[in-house]
Amino acid sequence: MRKFQLMIKAQEIKITGLVQGVGFRPFIYRLAHKHHLKGFVENNNLGVRVIIEGIANELNSFTKDIIPEAPQASSIDHISSLEIAVRHFDSFAIEKSSSVSDAVTEVSPDISVCPDCLNDMKYQERRINYPFTNCTNCGPRFTIIKDLPYDRAKTTMHEFEMCPECNKEYTNVLDRRFHAQPVACKNCGPEYTLYYKEHKTNDISTIIDSCCNLLEQNKIVAIKGLGGYHLACSAFHDTTIRQLRERKNREGKPFALMFRDLDAAEEYLFIDNDEKELLTSWQKPITLLKIKKELAPSISINLNTVGAMLPYMPFHYQLFEKLKIPAIVLTSGNISDEPIVIDNNEALERLGHISDAVITYNRDIHNRTDDSVAMVTNGKSRVIRRSRSYVPSPIRLHLDTESIFAAGAELVNCFCIGKGNQAIMSQHIGDLKNLETLDFYTESAQRFERLFRFKPEIVACDMHPDYLSTRYAKSLGLPIVETQHHHAHIASCMAEHKLDEDVIGLSFDGTGYGDDGHIWGGEFFVCNLNNYQRMAHFEYIPQPGGDLVTKQPWRMMLSYLHHYFGNDILTKHANLFNGIPMQDAEMVLSMIEKGINCPLTSSAGRLFDAVAALIDVCKTASYHAEPPMRLESVATDSSLFYPYESGKIVNMKKTFEGIINDLNQHVDVSLISGKFHNTVVHIIVDQVRWISEQTKIKTVVLSGGSFQNRILLKKVEDLLNDSTFAVFSQSAIPSNDGGIALGQLAIAAKRRALGLI
């Protein structure tokens, strides 16, 4: 006995990264059990801590197995182990943690179905072809949770009573389904229903077969997804796709696709290794990819990219197993800009008119979440819309954020709450312009309060007095921190990278309320989390008709031309106004001359609008940010650029002269666009150097929706990195207004820490 004890060793293992709320402790338990080890596992502020003892060999294998066998939703940053004194535990236990806010860590995002569950759907009798198969490593989470503690009774699974077999799995700590709250099987779980004309069926094989037939026959099918309904149709039949556009009142905005698998996607799209990693990650986001071989033209209408995703629910896999076409359009089930439909009756009523059949299931979606959207630029993934499978994973900050509510901006709104040193961003809410979206916003804000045991004490919002998010913030009757839009963009990027210093901050986007009441958006700041100084900006140009220019970018073109070349542009440059009714152009010109409804803007987005209209790739737009997307899409790579005047006020007169010159010489618009992109890149680099000379600051932070432009971001990052600047751009958090709430939160937290609130 004595000899045996000598072989026992003990270790303290610390694992950091995304290891909480993803089934990590039961995983460690099972691994310890497999290797006959004793001790315990617990969550702490940094991640997971394991005290483990047993035979040395087994201890080594245990440590070696952690990374390759970890739950798919986890991501390990670092493992450290330290030999400690043996304490002779008699078992292995999962300890309740004392030092972390469990409210945060218990709510996991939804996780795409895991390979083991897909395997169970083939071989485990109770789960053969059962589309609600899940385990601790996969399945619905945030979308079904109503309250804490996270157990079945507090989810929308509460009405499904576990059968004895499921219960056995649920209560056996060695089972993969131990404490998997949504555990279910054929005998006890939810089921799908197909409504097609007068028919209705619950038989899953029939539903899959009918769905395949309908899609192959170019029909539109509404299918209930994880966080809301989708509308699906063949990705190869243009007429159907145009019909879908018409019926859901979505004129031009690109549709997302779902491919059968990676091989199918690679046949139609260019996918590099970084993009492959993103596309196949457990979050399965819609990934923006370059088109290799055209599918139906109406999917993204002349753009060179498309958003593609891979199956993530069991139903998707079952569908593609039978479906003869390798890709379908899979777009949010909603009308126009309303929130995605989640209610079954509403789906039957409203989506029933859009689709030829409706496939629903009887487990409710509690928290609506859209598919997330991401892309890769400069080898890094960039989340553009942070929703399904990302929310509500917390973002760790270096600041105390407790009890701060950040209301977000207006477009692609997300709000954010502070818990301890963590920030929890809401799912994508949408454009806060209609009543339905505002209801969704208010409801979600209230739900976050309850779910995370959050009581707001300070509210951060945009300075814009008319944003509905600002009004909501003010209606709470709490101390308010108003943040300048572009300062919040830069602070969002700083928070993501835990920066807390003076930086050169660039915020390029479409619109944001400025200190002087003008519309800002091409901004060069020197700032920290508390303060900002506007060092330089693009020249102010009238924005005739206000927001209307986003639909009619030719108005910005006219405004720029008028500003630089005078009153007679309509006669002098008549050829540039092809396709625009002369009457309209004259009216806009007279608005500018008289200064009627012409707010001033320094927006980079509006500059891109003007150039897109000028080179005639987008004179009128049918969706948000279409002009810059088209401009980027046509650009060819070159090293040429136009002249410009940088400085405190960036003057683009020479750039416009250059473009018009090129147009008159019939230079290809692809080259003009490439040269224009380079011009903006050069301006940025010049400005950054100039500001750095004055301030000695070497840290550069890039944010704002314009940095979703891949050419711009890549070239600016490459050039600045080459010249000894440390450059930070957004990756996990959107650089568009969807990420702004994080910046608002960080600013408020910093000001509070400084005693300014």
Q: For Zn ion, give the closer residue by CB, 21 or 54.
A: 21
Burial class from Cβ neighbours inside 10 Å (0-12, 13-18, 19+) for residue 343 reads middle
Burial class (CB in 10 A: 0-12, 13-18, 19+), 476: middle
- 3-class secondary-structure state, position 230: strand
Q: Decide: is 340 part of the binding site for Zn ion (CB under 5 A).
A: no
Span near Fe ion by CB under 5 A; candidates 71-79, 590-598, 602-610, 737-745: 737-745
**Sole window of 40-48, 133-141, 198-206, 336-344 interacting with Zn ion (rule: CB under 5 A):** 133-141
Query: Mask 165-204, x = binds Zn ion (CB under 5 A)?
Result: -x------------------x-xx----------------
Interacting partner of 163 out of Fe ion, Zn ion, none (Cβ under 5 to 8 A depending on kind): Zn ion
Q: Which does 678 bind (CB under 5 to 8 A by kind): Fe ion, Zn ion, none?
A: none
CB nearer to Fe ion: pick between 224 and 487: 487
Judged by CB under 5 A, which stretch of 7-15, 234-242, 353-361, 730-738 contacts Fe ion?
730-738
For 118, the token pair is 């897909």
Nearer to Fe ion, 467 or 641 (CB): 467
Continuous segment of H or E residues that includes residue 78: strand 75-84
Give me the least distance between CB of 309 and Zn ion, in Å please.
19
Specify the residue, 181 or 507, whose C-beta has the smaller distance to Fe ion.
Answer: 507
**Which option in Zn ion, Fe ion, none does residue 138 bind, with CB closer than 5 to 8 A by kind?**
Zn ion
Task: Single out the residue of 70, 107, 135, 588 in contact with Zn ion (rule: CB under 5 A).
Answer: 135
Q: Which residues contact 100 (CB under 8 A, 6 or more apart)?
A: 20, 43, 44, 45
Least Cβ distance, residue 338 to Zn ion (angstroms)? 33
Query: What does residue 731 show for φ and ψ, rounded to 5 degrees?
Result: -130, -60
Contact present, 133 and 119 (Cβ < 8 Å): no
Nearer of residues 99 and 171 to Zn ion, judged by Cβ:
171
Closer CB to Fe ion, 519 or 529, in the complex: 519
Q: Name which position in 8, 163, 476, 663 contacts Zn ion (CB under 5 A).
A: 163
Tell me the closest approach of the beta carbon of residue 142 to Zn ion, in angstroms: 16
Q: Is 138 in the site for Zn ion (CB under 5 A)?
A: yes
117 contacts Zn ion (rule: CB under 5 A): yes
Q: In this structure, what token pair is assigned to residue 341?
A: 């439909």
Element (H, E) at 328: strand 327-332
Position 665, amino acid: Q
Three-class SS state of 305: strand
State whether residue 430 is helix, strand or coil.
strand
**DSSP 8-state symbol, 726:** E
Whose CA is closest to 60, among 95, 86, 31? Answer: 31
d(CA 358, CA 230) in angstroms, rounded, equals 10
Q: Which is nearer to Fe ion, 53 or 737 (CB)?
A: 737
DSSP line for 109-167: PPBPPPHHHHHHHHH-GGGTT-TT--BTTBB--GGGB-SSS-SGGGBTTTTSPPPHHHH
Q: Which of 50, 145, 737, 751 binds Fe ion (CB under 5 A)?
A: 737
The residues that bridge with 61 in the sheet, in sequence order, are none
Query: Binding to Fe ion (CB under 5 A): which residues in 111-170?
Result: none
**Geometric angle at alpha carbon 167, from 164 and 170, rounded to 5°:** 160
The identity of residue 86, as a single letter, is V
CB of 154 to Zn ion, least distance (A): 19
Least CB distance to Fe ion at residue 737 (A):
4
> What distances in angstroms separate CA 64 from CA 67, 79, 84, one per listed residue?
7, 10, 18
Q: In this complex, which beta carbon is closest to Fe ion, that of residue 467 or of residue 564?
A: 467
User: Could you tell which of Fe ion, Zn ion, none binds residue 737, using a CB distance below 5 to 8 A set by kind?
Assistant: Fe ion
C-alpha of 279 from chain center = 13
Binder of residue 135, out of Zn ion, Fe ion, none (CB less than 5 to 8 A by kind): Zn ion
Strand 92-94, strand 373-377: pairing: unpaired
Q: Residue 671's binding partner, choosing from Zn ion, Fe ion, none, with beta-carbon cut-off 5 to 8 A by kind?
A: none
Q: Closest-CB residue for Fe ion?
A: 509
Rg (C-alpha) for the chain, rounded Å, is: 27
The H-assigned helical ranges of 14-98 are: 24-34, 56-69
Q: Which is nearer to Fe ion, 110 or 626 (CB)?
A: 626
CB of 520 to Fe ion, least distance (A): 9
Nearest to Zn ion of 138, 451 (CB atom): 138
Give me the least distance between CB of 83 and Zn ion, in Å please. 35
Q: Distance between CA atoms of 446 and 427, rounded to whole angstroms?
A: 13
Residue type, 149: P
CA-based nearest residue to 160, from 124, 137, 191, 134: 191
SS3 359: strand
User: CB under 5 to 8 A by kind: which of Fe ion, Zn ion, none does 187 bind?
Assistant: Zn ion
Give the shortest CB-83-to-Fe ion separation in angstroms: 52
Of residues 457 through 516, those in contact with Fe ion by CB under 5 A are 509
* Span from 67-75, 530-538, 558-566, 734-742 in contact with Fe ion (CB under 5 A): 734-742
Minimum distance from residue 609 beta carbon to Fe ion (Å): 15
Q: How many residues bind Zn ion (CB under 5 A)?
A: 10
| Total residues interacting with Fe ion, rule: CB under 5 A | 2
509 touches which of Fe ion, Zn ion, none (CB within 5 to 8 A by kind)?
Answer: Fe ion
**Partner whose footprint covers residue 410, from Zn ion, Fe ion, none (CB < 5 to 8 Å by kind):** none
Using CB atoms within 10 Å of the CB of residue 268, give its burial: 0 to 12 exposed, 13 to 18 middle, 19+ buried: buried
Minimum distance from residue 186 beta carbon to Zn ion (Å): 7
52: contact with Zn ion by CB under 5 A: no
Element (H or E) spanning 317, and its range?
A: helix 314-322
Shortest Cβ distance from residue 615 to Fe ion (Å)?
Answer: 25
Helix H or strand E segment including 334:
none
**Contact residue for Zn ion among 108, 137, 300, 437 (CB under 5 A):** 137
* Of residues 89 and 170, the one with the C-beta less far from Zn ion: 170
Q: Which does 114 bind (CB under 5 to 8 A by kind): Fe ion, Zn ion, none?
A: Zn ion
Residue 523 as a binder of Fe ion (CB under 5 A): the answer is: no
The minimum distance between CB 174 and Fe ion, in angstroms, equals 50
**What distance in Å separates the CA atoms of residue 563 and residue 408, rounded to the nearest whole number?**
34
Stretch of 195-203, 229-237, 491-499, 731-739 lying at the interface with Fe ion (CB under 5 A): 731-739
Residue 704: CB minimum distance to Fe ion, A:
6
Three-state DSSP class for residue 513: strand
Neighbouring CB atoms inside 10 A of 218's CB total 17
Instruction: Choose among Zn ion, Fe ion, none what residue 279 binds, the Cβ cut-off being 5 to 8 Å by kind.
Output: none
> Residue 330 binds which one of Fe ion, Zn ion, none, with CB within 5 to 8 A depending on kind?
none
Rounded CA separation 369/676 (Å): 37
Side-chain-side CA neighbours of residue 576 (13 Å): 30
Residue 537, classified by CB atoms within 10 Å of its CB into exposed (0-12), middle (13-18) or buried (19+), is buried
Nearest to 54 by CA among 31, 72, 76, 38: 38
Binding site for Zn ion (CB under 5 A): 114, 117, 135, 137-138, 163, 166, 185, 187-188
Binding site for Fe ion (CB under 5 A): 509, 737
